[in-house]
């Protein structure tokens, strides 16, 4: 019989029951892959993250991420949740101001941001962004995500983008169109599997000052109808905006992104895009709240 500490942590929010919930298992070294997947299925949260000893010398820990149905290479909100837990419960603020996490796609550095002598946010540096063109019509995309073709914002290209996981980005003219989207989840999931993308990510600049961007994310291909607030997808979105020339090429850009409001789990992400010689640095930051802590028993 095994008993392990387990946490339910809401990420990209500073209030309970907002943002995106993640399961966090901080001492998972004794677990098999099958056990990790079963725990993620039992928790039935968008993603669960498992902390393991590192396999490379430049990492403090290895992490693995699971949806209720499969392992994925990277998850932003679960990384924020885990890093918040390390600081708040495991004394890492006394050991330093950052930690290096080994993921399936590479090393992800995480920094703790302190304001007024308390932990304010966790900031992770994602992998260098990439984009790919995609041959798909506006009409087909609109049909799959459940909006009118006229709601697709043709000022910006429909593209695939990644900072670890691949996503399909769909520009939308208004926040109201995003909020009213009713995707064909089965068909969308099938297309995402064909494209080998994790999620379809809708975004708009139609915010009138509340945020810089507003987004919504559908992930039926990996067992999640809608992911409330997505660190990986929004980080990749920032990379897409830079690589497509929508953000300034030679100056740092800070973005405040809202997501989750359409499904009653509002969250906020703070993204910094810093131009560099080879590729921009994408940093995604947010706060978190530990809502449940306890033990899980495996017999």
Give catalytic residues, as residue numbers.
47
The Cα 289–Cα 37 span in angstroms is 24
Rg over alpha carbons for the chain, rounded to the nearest Å, is 18
Alpha helices by DSSP H, listed for the chain, are 33-43, 76-89, 138-145, 175-179, 185-195, 231-243
**Packed helices 76-89 and 231-243: angle between N→C axes, nearest 10 degrees:** 120
Show the tokens assigned to 40: 């993620």
Angle 21-126-29 (CA atoms, 0-180°, nearest 5)? 60
User: What are residue 139's phi and psi, to 5 degrees?
Assistant: -65, -40
At CB < 8 A and 24+ separation, what contacts does 189-196 make?
A: 189/220, 189/221, 190/221, 191/144, 192/168, 192/219, 192/220, 192/221, 193/221, 195/134, 195/160, 195/166, 195/168, 196/166
Nearest to 17 by CA among 178, 229, 195: 229
Q: Which residue in the block uniquely carries the two structure tokens 């299925």? A: 41
Show the tokens assigned to 228: 């409330």
């Amino acid at each position: 019989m095994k008993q392990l500490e387990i946490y339910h942590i809401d990420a990209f929010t500073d209030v309970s029951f907002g943002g995106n919930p993640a399961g966090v298992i901080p001492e998972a070294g004794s677990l098999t892959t099958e056990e990790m997947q079963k725990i993620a299925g039992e928790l039935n949260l968008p993603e669960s993250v498992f902390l393991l000893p590192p396999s490379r010398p430049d990492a403090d820990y290895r992490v693995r991420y699971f949806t209720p149905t499969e392992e994925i290479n990277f998850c932003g909100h679960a990384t924020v949740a885990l890093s918040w837990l390390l600081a708040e419960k495991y004394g890492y603020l006394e050991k330093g101001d950052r930690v290096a996490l080994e993921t399936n796609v590479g090393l992800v550095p995480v920094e703790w941001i302190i304001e007024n002598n308390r932990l304010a946010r966790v900031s992770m540096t994602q992998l260098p962004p990439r984009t790919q063109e995609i041959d798909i019509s506006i009409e087909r995309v609109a049909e799959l995500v459940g909006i009118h073709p006229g709601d697709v914002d043709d000022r910006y290209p429909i593209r695939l983008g990644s900072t670890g996981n691949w996503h399909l980005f769909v520009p939308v003219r208004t926040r109201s169109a995003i909020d009213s989207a009713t995707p064909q989840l089965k068909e969308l999931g099938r297309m995402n599997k064909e494209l080998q993308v994790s999620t379809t990510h809708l975004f708009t600049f139609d915010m009138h000052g509340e945020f810089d961007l507003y987004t919504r994310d559908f992930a039926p291909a990996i067992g999640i109808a809608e992911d409330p607030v997505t660190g990986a997808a929004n980080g990749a979105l920032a990379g897409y905006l830079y690589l497509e020339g929508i953000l300034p090429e030679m100056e740092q850009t800070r973005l405040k992104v809202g997501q989750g409001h359409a499904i009653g789990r509002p969250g906020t992400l703070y993204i910094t895009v810093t131009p560099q010689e080879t590729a921009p640095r994408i940093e995604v930051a947010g706060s978190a709240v530990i809502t449940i802590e306890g033990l899980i028993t495996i017999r």
